[in-house]
Structure 1
Amino acid sequence: MKISILVSDLSSAGAGRWGGGSVRSFLLAQSLQKLNYQVEILGFLFGEEATVIPQSEIRINQFIGYNYPKFLMSASQLLKKIDGDIIYAMRPKPTTFGLALLRKLKTNQPIILDIDDWELSWYGGENWKYKASFKQLYRDIFKSDGALRQPDHPFYLKMVEGMTKKANAITIHTKFLQDKFGGIYLPNGKDTELFNPNYYDPEKSRIFYGLSGYRILMFPGAPRPYKGVEDVLLALELINEPDIKLVIVGGSPYDDYDAQLSEKWGRWIIKLPKYPPSEMPKIVAAAHIVVVPQKNTPAALAQFPLKLTDGMAMAKPILATRVGDIPEILGETGYLVEPESPEQIAEKIKLIFQDLDAANQRAVKARERCVEKYSINSMSNILESVISEL
């Protein structure tokens, strides 16, 4: 059996970040391959600086994306290439689920819709409405840079979001999304064989990446305002011990937010560049603590932070906030604080470093929990059941 996974954006700001290896679509592809299915990822490259993902064990078919009306040509090219027995559409977007529905009209291929984010949350959620005068409507449609020429404009997102029940099955990865869209709970899995602390020496990793001599808090992801990195930096101001540093890996592919953080709190930050997914375990090995300080916002509630399973798989003490599914994912194996509470974060950092051996023993339990519940193998088991139902 072959499964075609549709992705809206394969550029470096989309599923192509980190070389594609750690994002949801690629985790699903790995899980399906473990079930001996043929898997292909198809998607668009938008923007002048779109980064082409190198071919890997997963076949990738990439199409140049444009705004309307030229996008119709790109969409036609992609539709002709969809030959999977099942279509797996990533998120309810015109560029994925919308095209899958068009294809289904012709071939009746079953569709699984995966929802790993609430797209409308970026635009105000349920309250978003398209309000425009006739003159503005004309501009949005007919000007070359008109807003409604964007294939995934929120006007179209809202329409496609209303069609989710047309999918043959829905998979989601947070309880927030399950309450909103229904579907089968399919948490993100980690390659716990690749992310295996037994293969790495933490001190050698710190020396290799120029981190030796510091006590390392690590944020192995792209900073964004809702991810709470500012709260960790405020906590470091409160502690005021110069050997404690926050290491940010990869930076933001979306905007200059990480530069803003460096301008304000640069004395506490060490930035590492983006590395291929295969090198991330060696980088995470250098951490003393992995921080996941999400804020309590709709965008954060809809997401399953992959940084959690990075730290859990590598048996690192995890300091996170009580937001969304995070407490359930960690169980009793991490350290939790309230969101937007730098004082609580500071206290937990001091507590962990006061008895790092005890914290590392707790982190071993976190790895055991990750292997059991949040591995690629556990994803495969759930997907096998979803597909058998089709």
Structure 2
Amino acid sequence: MVKNKEKSKISLLVWNLSTNDGFIRASLLQTALKKLGHETEILGFLFGKNLYEAIPRNTGIYAVEGTNYPNFFKSVGKLFKHIQGDIIYAIKPQPASFGVALLNRFYTHRPVIVDIDDWEMSWHGGDNWYYRPTLKQLARDVLKQDGALRNPNHPLYLKWMDNLVKKADAVTVNTKFLQQRFGGTFIPNGKDTSLFHPAQYDSNASKNRYGLSGYRILMFPGAPRPYKGLEDVLIALDKINQPDLKLAIVGGSPYDDYDKELQQQWGRWIVKLPKYPVDVMPDVVAAADVIVVPQRDTPETRAQFPLKLTDGMAMAKPILSTKVGDIPDILGESGYLVEPSSPEQIAEQIQLIFQNLDAANELGRKARERCVEKYSIEAMASSLKSVISRL
């Protein structure tokens, strides 16, 4: 168990530091833990060539090359030598984070927390996924150099990790869906509301800076994927057919060419902006008139807490979103909600917002108040304090 001292050092393990899949949540938790006075470190694997481009290069993150089995065990051994924390905080129930943490506990007896901010199996069919190979297929998957079971991220291992969550010393989650499934303490996706503060930015100046002047801007500050519902917004813009309305997509998709497909079909409505570091994002969001988070109703989205919501809430922007998962609870009465996959309702709400922009901006101010109260870094820290103290 943790040594009897006032503040513990906490090691946050991220399964893949080549993407944002885990790092952003780890960074938020790290900031909250620092507010509580804990020393922290972030460690993990690179299942890609480089660190995720939004990771500041001076953060002292330690990364080991991620490989397939059996060489992956050598990578784990390298990482073990650098884990200095009294507590291991695994980000996501992945073999390369939670699995490594449990293995480390076996040798060191350091307590393990697992943080769950997505249902990993939802990407593979959820509870309906099964691995039932023939003996021949099993042999291929295990013995061939590119065999499926040599990949540490294979769904079979993810399913095992789900079943091992109860073995953690503590569990943290960021949605009610995940809490109902795995238990644990609710820790929201907090926002640095002092950095994301509308008083520090000029919306018109931001529009000029990013080439958005003269337009009414709906902004999606994230990576487009089919389940995120951007097609519904674009169909709505087709229906409204007002050329000064634009959808600004910030960052594009690092996963596939989906954003290019959107551009090909609806390019006249889209303004594409590049990726920006976290400390620049408040200035980017300041250029928006409305933040749109049009999630569709899928197993993936029901488990998620979209960070884009708190981007907009912290910056006091009107938010248009859908009744999916925790979104209605996150927004409360401080945003505009429509049914998922409903371009007609989205079109109606866009027109309503711009017909009475003063009322929409007042809702945005209420959204900021709600964000400061419930979804700030301070709110995260308050919940984390009890989790750490129990260990």
CA contact (8 A) 2:172 2:186 kept: yes
Secondary structure of the structure 2 residue equivalent to 1:223:
coil
Q: Partner of 2:62: helix, strand, or coil? A: strand
TM-score, normalised with respect to structure 1: 0.96
- Matched ranges for 1:88-167 at <5 A: 88-167=89-168
Are the counterparts in 2 of residues 189 and 374 from structure 1 also a CA contact under 8 Å? yes
In 2, Cα distance between equivalents of 1:274 and 1:360: 26
Structure 1 residues 51 and 172: CA distance shift in structure 2, 3 A: closer
Quote the offset at 1:240 in angstroms.
0.6
Counterpart position of 2:4: none
Q: Which amino acid aligns with 1:354?
A: Q
Question: For 1:278 and 1:48, how far apart are their aligned partners in 2?
Answer: 24
1-structure distance, mates of 2:225, 2:210: 24
Preserved contact between residue 113 and residue 167 of structure 1 (Cα < 8 Å): yes
Asked if 2 retains the 8 angstrom alpha-carbon contact of 1:113 and 1:170, the reply is yes
- How far the C-alpha of 1:109 sits from its partner, in A, is 0.8
Aligned equivalent of 2:5:
none
Classify the secondary structure of the residue corresponding to 2:291: strand
Consecutive aligned runs of 4 or more in structure 1 exceeding 6 Å deviation: none
- Is the contact between residue 179 and residue 185 of structure 2 (CA under 8 Å) also seen in structure 1? yes
1:9 to 2:16 alignment: yes
Tell me what 1:339 maps to: 340
Specify the SS of the correspondent of 1:179.
Answer: helix
SS at match of 2:81: helix
1:225-256 alpha-carbon deviations (Å, 9 max, x no partner) = 11111110111011011110000000111111
Unaligned runs of 5+ in 1: none
| Superposed counterparts of 1:237-386, under 5 Å | 237-386=238-387
Distance 1:31 1:271 in 2: 32
Q: In 2, distance between residues paired with 1:354 and 1:124?
A: 42
**Shift in Å at residue 49 of structure 1?**
5.5
Given residue 151 of structure 2, which amino acid in structure 1 is its aligned partner? Q
Residue 37 of structure 1 corresponds to which residue in structure 2? 38
Q: Give, in whole Å, the separation in 2 of the partners of 1:371 and 1:363.
A: 12
8 A Cα contact 1:13 1:253, kept in partner: no
Distance in 2 (alpha carbons) for counterparts of 1:389 and 1:196: 34
Unaligned runs of 5+ in 2: 1-7
Q: Determine if contact 2:316/2:365 at 8 Å carries over to the other structure.
A: yes
1:177 maps to which residue? 178
CA distance in 2, matches of 1:134, 1:83: 42
Q: Does the aligned pair in 2 maintain the 1:13–1:254 contact within 8 Å?
A: no
Correspondence 1:55-74 to 2 at 5 A: 55-56=57-58, 58-74=59-75
Amino acid at match of 2:15: S
> CA–CA distance in 2 between the matches of 1:59 and 1:186?
25
2:213 corresponds in structure 1 to: 212
Instruction: Indicate if the aligned counterparts of 1:4 and 1:84 stay in contact, CA closer than 8 A.
Output: yes
142-151 or 205-214, which deviates more = 142-151
d(CA) in 1 for partners of 2:266 and 2:57?
A: 38
CA distance in 2, matches of 1:204, 1:368: 24
Matched, 1:221 2:201: no
The 2-side partners of 1:213 and 1:55 are apart by 36
Q: Does structure 2 conserve the Cα–Cα contact (< 8 Å) formed by 1:140 and 1:149? A: yes
- Quote the Cα distance in structure 2 between the aligned partners of 1:214 and 1:144: 53
Per-residue deviation at 1:190? 0.1
Cα offset, 1:47, TM superposition = 2.3
Provide the rounded CA distance (Å) in 2 between the counterparts of 1:260 and 1:44: 31
Please state whether the residue corresponding to 2:121 is helix, strand or coil: helix
1:344-383 deviation per Cα after TM superposition (whole angstroms, max 9, x unaligned): 0000000000011111011101000000000001101111
SS at match of 2:308: helix
SS in 1 for 2:188: coil
SS at the partner of 1:103?
Answer: helix
Q: Report the TM-score, using the length of structure 2 for normalisation.
A: 0.96
Query: How far, CA to CA, are the matches of 1:389 and 1:240 in structure 2?
Result: 56
C-alpha deviation, 1:152, in angstroms? 1.4
Give the AA of the match of 2:14.
V
Superposition RMSD in Å: 1.2
The separation in 2 between residues aligned to 1:50 and 1:34, in whole angstroms, is: 25
Provide the C-alpha distance between the structure 1 equivalents of 2:290 and 2:344, rounded to a whole number of angstroms. 17
Alpha-carbon contact 2:190-2:380 (below 8 Å) kept? yes
Q: Say if 1:219 and 1:291, in contact at 8 Å, map to a contact too.
A: yes
CA distance in 1, matches of 2:48, 2:77: 19
Structure 1 distance, partners of 2:189, 2:170, is: 17
Could you tell me how far 1:385 is from its partner in structure 2? Answer: 1.1
The question of whether the paired residues in 2 share the 8 Å contact of 1:11 and 1:51 is answered with yes
2: CA distance, partners of 1:274 / 1:55:
16
1:50 Cα offset (Å): 5.2
Comparing 302-311 with 134-143, greater Cα deviation is found at: 134-143
State the SS of the aligned residue for 2:64.
strand
Displacement of 1:133 = 2.3
Amino acid aligned to 1:253: P
How many Å apart are 1:51 and its aligned residue?
Answer: 4.3
